[in-house]
Amino acid sequence: MSELLTKSAARNIFYGGSAFFFAIFIGLVAHTHYYARTTSTDESRLTASVINGKHIWEKHACINCHTILGEGAYFAPELGNVWLRYDGDKDPKSAREALKAWMINQPTGIEGRRQMPKFVFTDKELDDLISFLEWSSTIKTNNWPPNKAG
């Protein structure tokens, strides 16, 4: 490497530059935090039921098969927009019933088809979980996914 750059200059550029970029990053994430709470999500609808639904989603490790907003495992369908796929925005009552019926009937046991584990949910837990999926479908995601297939 050229003699123009000494080791101590390289070191100073590394420390100074990293601090500079990290400071910008923190500033932008602070704004992103504010944006997430005020613009991209509706916190007035972030009820105790939705938050409890999120914990149910977590403690059953759903994300290790499904994706939500494109993140997770790629073994089962995207669920960020599952509420819209079930037309929950048009007929919330039917969508809720259909999703419940789907979940309590797992696993299907059909040969050669991917199996969802058997989860034992109370009716309230099912409601909370679906409320979480419903709330997630309202996040402003820069219009991702491209279509209903998720």
Using CB under 8 A, which residues numbered 21 to 40 contact other proteins? Answer: 21-22, 24-25, 28-29, 31-33, 35-37, 39-40
Distance CA 79, CA 65 (A): 11
Contact in structure between 86 and 98 (CB atoms under 8 Å): yes
Distance, CA of 46 to CA of 60 (rounded, Å): 21
Single out the residue of 38, 96, 107, 129 in contact with other proteins (rule: CB under 8 A).
Answer: 107
Q: Please state whether the peptide bond connecting residue 146 to the residue before it is cis, i.e. omega within 30 degrees of 0.
A: no
For position 148 contacting other proteins by CB under 8 A, the verdict is yes
63 binds other proteins (CB under 8 A): yes
In the range 77-106, which residues lie near other proteins by CB under 8 A? 77-78
Q: Which two tokens stand for residue 146?
A: 């491209």
For other proteins, the closer CB: 93 or 106? 106
